[in-house]
Structure 1
Amino acid sequence: MDIKQLRYFVAVVKEGGFSGAAAKLHLSQPSLSKAVRTLEEQIGFQLLERTTKRVNMTESGQVFYKRALYILAEMDIFEKEVNEVKVAGSGEVRLGMIESVKNWIPNVLSWYRKQYPDMHVVLKEVLGRNDIEQALRDYAVHICLTNEFIDEPDIVTAPLYTEKLVLVMSASHPLANRDTVHLADLSEEPFIITSKGFQTRKNITEAFEEAGVGMNYSYDADRFETILTLVEAGIGISIIPRNYIGEVVPDHLAIRELDSPSLERTVYLAYVKNRYRPPAIDALLQRMLESV
């Protein structure tokens, strides 16, 4: 006994005979009649009483019919759910990201919400390279936005855009009155820098080393949010991605671009190469790549 046989039997009952059911099912009447007869042989009792004008269910057929309707209804729900899983997976997309993409990602997510309103989006902050690789391989995230180029055979790292790293200071800082600031001007300033192991720290230290300028390391912090809070309070200066600040610079902050090739970085989109991604998740990945 299979689902197709149940559908055939139910169609015969609903149409009141084999001819109407055969037309609805796009089958020949002899094929349909044979399929129902085979079903009766398999279950071991008669379902229908056949007359020249119409068919009627036997008493056992009535019980079987009710159960068949229930099974088919459940099967329809199951098929819909399977199709939803095929398109959307669990209905959740998990996106790893670095802080500086906070002003880039909203446009992409706005489009995504319109296209896939039922998808739940989880944004996870993933910073260090080891954390990124582990999050991708453990399926903790589907996609990761990072400033780390990951050279691994199982991970694709595609460039999205480049961003400047700029000097940030309190608007009341003496250097804020200058139109041009050089790295040499910062050697004695208390510097707030991202923690060891972060790519941004590497970019900054390389810029100072290339310029032959020393740094006055005063504070380490994991997050740009913390760094800006300290800068705003006049505790020190820092260098962070321009995109993190946004288009409008707050009145209490001042920023300056510094002349160093190391103070520019690429933001990448990273994902596991051979991982199956449901269409609803793959659509987000493709949209990000197309937004470059």
Structure 2
Amino acid sequence: MDIRQLKYFVEVAKQKSFTRASTTLLVSQPSISKMIKSLEEELGVVLLDRNERKVVLTDAGAMVFEQAQTILQMMEQLTLSVDELVHMKRGRVKMGLMPTVGSLLFPHTIARFRKEYPDIEMQMVEHKAKQLQHQVEQGELDVAVTVHPVDEALFETVPLLSEELVAIADNEHWLVERESVRLAELKNESFILFSEEFVLHDVVRQACAQAGFEPKVAYVSQLWDLVGEMVATQLGIALVPRSMVRRLNQRSIQAVTISEPHIDWKLVLIYRRDRYLSYAARAFIRYAEANWSIRDQL
């Protein structure tokens, strides 16, 4: 069995397309098809259903896909381990950040890390918190900055930031006359929520349930700025981390402290407990633990 067979098969399965896999791998489509066909013949099973518009895994294909991912990750880890022995203090960190939050909080930390470790390459992607957790779980990322809670049986966590959620409202809303408000007092308000891909969506809904009501949802968005604009135009209120308020339209909205319950919004750096970490990833985790300072970021 050739490792390329597994690599090509896994990529076709992920992309659900020979054409897209060919583009990603920079290998001709006939070569990929031939390699996967030889793998099927060697195993004596059909791995891919090619009759649909999208390529679909067969039952046997799904089992091989899961095992093949593990094998490829082990091969990558072996390569990284050898590379560390030959090139100490070199390597790369595959890191995930949440949009807006990452750009607000992490540039200074990353810049200082690069100065101390100039031979370590930082590869960064942006996704929502839940997707980042999935990518770390699958080994696609070494580390990610996401929102607590996470599965602590699966992930090690490095606390980065803990702050309160506040209510934001337009300048003419009754809330702006208050220094603080109990969440239960907002039960009749319309809420602008972030979409379900955001951990913040779950945090707000759970807090409202704790306060004894189900929020009336006026709109759901994936964009921080759009949430702020909708609040400013009196479509509803929203709950956001205090540090994010200054990124919104401050001339048209104001933030009010929630006195009860206190709702924490916690940023953590996560990595898999049971997976090998490269020298570069370990160095970055140590650096974040020792040097993270929220005062430098805000």
Q: 1:217 Cα deviation (Å)?
A: 0.9
Residue 285 of structure 2: aligned partner: 285
Task: Verify the 8 A CA contact 1:95 1:142 in the aligned structure 2.
Answer: yes
Q: How does 1:186-225 map to 2 (within 5 A)?
A: 186-196=186-196, 198-225=198-225
Q: 1:135 Cα deviation (Å)?
A: 0.8
Q: How far apart, in 2, do the equivalents of 1:253 and 1:228 lie?
A: 8
Residue 112 of structure 1: aligned partner: 113
Residues 123-157 of structure 1 deviation map (CA, whole Å, 9 limit, x = unaligned) = 3233353x234311433222111113333645323
Task: Verify the 8 A CA contact 1:149 1:157 in the aligned structure 2.
Answer: no
Check if 1:88 corresponds to 2:90.
yes
Residue 156 of structure 1: aligned partner: 156
Residues 175-227 of structure 1 deviation map (CA, whole Å, 9 limit, x = unaligned) = 22332333244233221012235432222122222222442211112333332
Residue 236 of structure 2: aligned partner: 236
1:139 alignment partner, SS class: coil
Q: 1:84 Cα deviation (Å)?
A: 7.6
- How many equivalent residue pairs? 209
Task: Verify the 8 A CA contact 1:224 1:240 in the aligned structure 2.
Answer: no
Residue 270 of structure 1: aligned partner: 270
Q: How does 1:98-177 map to 2 (within 5 A)?
A: 98-99=98-99, 100-117=101-118, 119-129=120-130, 131-151=131-151, 153-177=153-177
Q: TM-score, normalised by structure 1?
A: 0.60
Task: Verify the 8 A CA contact 2:179 2:257 in the aligned structure 1.
Answer: no
Letter in 2 for 1:286: R
> Per the alignment, do residues 169 and 124 of structure 1 end up closer, same or farther by CA in structure 2, a change over 3 Å counting?
farther
Task: Verify the 8 A CA contact 1:164 1:241 in the aligned structure 2.
Answer: yes
Task: Verify the 8 A CA contact 2:175 2:256 in the aligned structure 1.
Answer: no
Residues 88-120 of structure 1 deviation map (CA, whole Å, 9 limit, x = unaligned) = 32xx43321235354332331131132134544
Q: How far apart, in 2, do the equivalents of 1:262 and 1:197 lie?
A: 23
Q: How far apart, in 2, do the equivalents of 1:191 and 1:154 lie?
A: 33
Residue 226 of structure 1: aligned partner: 226
Residue 24 of structure 1: aligned partner: none
Letter in 1 for 2:116: Q
RMSD of equivalent CA atoms: 3.0
Q: How far apart, in 2, do the equivalents of 1:270 and 1:261 lie?
A: 27
1:121 alignment partner, SS class: strand
2:89 alignment partner, SS class: helix
Structure of larger gyration radius: 1
Letter in 2 for 1:111: R
Q: How far apart, in 1, do the equivalents of 2:139 and 2:236 lie?
A: 39
Q: 1:256 Cα deviation (Å)?
A: 1.0
Instruction: Decide which moves more: 145-154 or 242-251.
Output: 242-251
Letter in 2 for 1:87: K
Task: Verify the 8 A CA contact 1:166 1:258 in the aligned structure 2.
Answer: yes
Instruction: Decide which moves more: 210-219 or 235-244.
Output: 210-219
Task: Verify the 8 A CA contact 2:136 2:142 in the aligned structure 1.
Answer: yes
Gaps of 5+ in 2: 1-82, 294-298
Identity of aligned residues (%): 22
Task: Verify the 8 A CA contact 1:102 1:244 in the aligned structure 2.
Answer: no
Q: How far apart, in 1, do the equivalents of 2:169 and 2:160 lie?
A: 28
